[in-house]
A = this chain, B = another copy of it.
Amino acid sequence: MKNPMQADFAPKELAPQINAHFNGKFEVELKYRLTDREAFWARLSAKSPEVMLEDNLEHDCYFDSPTASLAAEHKSLCIREMLPSGIMLWIVKGPEKDRCEAVNITDANKAKSMLRTLGYQCVLEIKKRRSVYFLGEFHLTLDWLEGLGDFAELAIMTNDEAKLPIYEAQLLALAAELGLEESQREFLSYRQLQMAIQG
């Protein structure tokens, strides 16, 4: 069975890293608001991170039933299109906070049509500019969202639920090394933040 996050349309040389980093049923993720993107970048680049992708445009369409039953069950259903990599993903998160599963798909428009046939509708679109770096076994995501600003996410995926607290402690230590403070932590998802400014 092929790896779910295997990026068929990403540069071939990235495939092993992508497989190693995005293989897991659970994701530990710490998100921070960046008050000074330049200063954060200086600290990050001093660690010589491996570049997975830089300045990729991501277009997410979140789907839910007309009664918002997925949101009520703490689940999310999303079709993501990435440019220029051309990667397209079908992503399901929840109901547990750390649970995230995704498969590559070959046609985002077709997948959206299929979800509409199944009775879902697009309830939210989010567009962001994303860069992803590898730092050892962790990955770091640097995002800019229109209307929301700059964010850094430190994360790791795993199939071993028992390791989640260990990884969280390691990610907190890494965040401190990168100058990120607890006051910058953001506990809401981009989806929740976007709905807050839209509402």
Tell me if A94 and B106 are in contact (CB < 8 A).
Answer: no
- By a CB distance below 8 angstroms, the chain B residues around A92 are 114, 117-118
User: Per a CB cutoff under 8 Å, which of B94, B104, B114 touches A101?
Assistant: B114
How many A residues have CB within 8 A of the partner chain? 33
Q: A77-B118, A92-B117, A117-B95 are in contact. Are A110 and B106 (CB under 8 A)?
A: no
Tell me if A106 and B107 are in contact (CB < 8 A).
Answer: no
- Whether A70 sits at the interface, judged by CB under 8 Å, is yes
Q: A75-B117, A92-B114, A117-B95 are in contact. Are A4 and B107 (CB under 8 A)?
A: yes
Tell me if B103 and A107 are in contact (CB < 8 A).
Answer: yes
- Whether A161 sits at the interface, judged by CB under 8 Å, is no
Quote the shortest CB–CB distance from A42 to chain B (angstroms): 37
Tell me if A101 and B77 are in contact (CB < 8 A).
Answer: no
User: Per a CB cutoff under 8 Å, which of B77, B95, B104 touches A106?
Assistant: B104
- Whether A90 sits at the interface, judged by CB under 8 Å, is yes
Tell me if B75 and A106 are in contact (CB < 8 A).
Answer: no
User: Per a CB cutoff under 8 Å, which of B70, B77, B101, B107 touches A3?
Assistant: B107
The 9 A-B residue pairs whose C-beta atoms are closest, nearest first, are A92-B114, A4-B107, A104-B106, A4-B110, A103-B105, A103-B107, A101-B114, A2-B106, A92-B117
